[in-house]
Copies of this chain bind each other. A is one copy, B any other.
């Protein structure tokens, strides 16, 4: 248990290392989830740089203001892989010389790469596995550069229990400065259907 505060403070820490019983206990508190949701987690789901292990928070357990985040350093390898997947080989992402002469004065990550970190928090943590992504708005506020540590945060804003719809505030920060903000709409998983 005494590992938790360190893990929360430092992006280099994660929850992959405490023994399973501790992980279970932490996750139950964190997610206020019934035990059957907790036991679905696999080892690889808790080896990320998140504040909480990955899994599911059903709509019955969601609360306004509930927040989850992950921290990730965007690397050159990430940018190269995203270029391959998206086919977006715009030289502002890949060519140092070209990028130096642009308004950004250096290479930047694809905006949708950063947006992918938001969708990771939604799909893995809040509400997590079982969520259906309906929509997302994105405002790109500042560039993310190779080597930047991005913190992607998601917060519950509205819960429509009848429609199982949840509105989430979504934002990404680098060194405390917003680089991306927007809103997501999702269909949240329910304990009643599982």
Stretch at the interface among A19-27, A57-65, A107-115, A154-162: A107-115
In addition to A87-B117, A88-B124, 7 A-B residue pairs with Cβ atoms within 8 Å of each other are A48-B89, A70-B87, A82-B116, A86-B117, A87-B120, A87-B124, A137-B137
- In the complex, A44→B98 CA distance in Å? 15
Instruction: Give the interface centre of A48, A49, A88, A103 by most chain B CB atoms within 10 Å.
Output: A88
Classify chain A: how many residues form its interface, as a range.
Answer: 35 or more
Name A's interface SS. Answer: mixed
Number of copies of chain A assembled together: 2
Bound CA–CA A132/B78 (angstroms): 20
A139 at the B interface (CB under 8 A)? yes
- A145 sits at the interface (CB 8 A): no
Q: Is A138 an interface residue (CB 8 A)?
A: yes
Contact with B along A80-108 (1 / 0, CB 8 A): 01101111111110000000001100000
Are the C-beta atoms of A123 and B85 separated by less than 8 Å? no
Instruction: From the candidates B54, B85, B87, name the one contacting A82 in the complex (CB within 8 A).
Output: B85
- Of the candidates B84, B90, B112, B116, the one whose C-beta lies within 8 Å of that of A88 is B116
